[in-house]
Amino acid sequence: MYKEWLNKQETTKELLTDSLASKFENTLSLGIDLPNLLGLHWCVTQPGEPRSNLSEDGHIKRGNFFPPIELPQRMWASSKINFYHKLIFNEEVERNSEIIKIELKESKNSGELYFVCLKHNYFQKKELILDETQTLVYKNPSSRKEPPIEKIDNKEKLFKIIPDNLMLFRFSALTFNSHRIHYDKDYALNEENYPELVVQGPLIASIAMNLIQSKNPKKALKNFEFNILSPSYVNNGLHIYADNNSVKVLGDENQILMSGLYQF
């Protein structure tokens, strides 16, 4: 099913400005030196669709670039990013995106799941700056259940941060992400069965990547991959732990929210 959407492509372009980079850094508010501003690529080349082309959940309507999967929820499941060069400020960024895989699976908790895998290539001056393989999951709202508790051994705690409504709003604005679970509490609770506003997965990943980079100032991060294992909610702590090549983000009760791998 949806085979006609395989290999579908989309190209978007946008100027990466100093102002946008500054707003991204101030949104993270980590209080550390961020020379590479990892995750900034999520703030450029996002399609600027008119409101008339948005679904009730705030996402772009399905059926054009994205397949018309009828399952109501769409979530960011995972990404793998390869960094080749630093982004250049005040230069145009071109993003070429392609749907490379669509897979149907079954879950005891959610029933049918559709996984849509995309490959994004980011160019500046016709040079590949970074690429990302992103997986989205389409599903029915899940029953609420406690995520697994993680035991941390031999990992250094890098940071604790508590994302608030302002941070979520700013990150949604920067990434032009109008998914209502990040700013509309009534919608998040009543339509998608969450107990609170949901923290954006790429926001958590941006925080983790930049903390890891800050601990290794003489090296440049070459790749970073992460999996969202459980939703994180506004005004709840993110506890970030790392060792030589892996990172975990836990909640206040040591529930695992995100796991990742990285290399320099």
191-211: pLDDT as tens digits: 999 999 999 999 999 999 999
Whether 111 contacts 65, CB under 8 Å: no
DSSP state for residue 219 in the 8-state scheme = S
Q: Which residues contact 26 (CB under 8 A, 6 or more apart)?
A: none
pLDDT of residue 32: 83
pLDDT of residue 145: 64
**How open is the CA angle 36-37-43, to the nearest 5 degrees?**
140
Q: What is the mean pLDDT of residues 214-237?
A: 96
114-153: pLDDT as tens digits: 999 999 999 999 999 999 999 999 999 876 666 667 777 7
Question: Would you state the structure tokens that stand for residue 221, as one six-digit string?
Answer: 């991060």
Q: What is the mean pLDDT of residues 64-70?
A: 95
Q: What is the mean pLDDT of residues 205-232?
A: 95
pLDDT of residue 85: 97
Q: What is the CA radius of gyration of the chain?
A: 18
DSSP string, 44-86: SS-----GGGB-TTSSBPTTSSS-----SEEEEEEEEEEE-S-
pTM comes to 0.94
User: How many angstroms separate the CA atoms of 88 and 125, rounded?
Assistant: 10
Which residue has tokens 């409101």?
A: 51
Three-state SS at 173: helix
Question: Percentage of the chain surpassing pLDDT 90?
Answer: 86
Question: Which of 52-66, 106-120, 147-161, 204-218 is predicted least confidently?
Answer: 147-161
Q: Taking each helix axis as running N to C, give the angle between helix 18-28 and helix 165-174, from 0 to 180 degrees, rounded to the nearest 10.
A: 150
Closest by CA position to 237, among listed 222, 225, 253:
253
> Helix %, strand %, coil % for the chain, to 5?
20, 40, 40
Domains and CATH numbers, the chain: 3-263 (3.10.129.10)
pLDDT of residue 110: 75
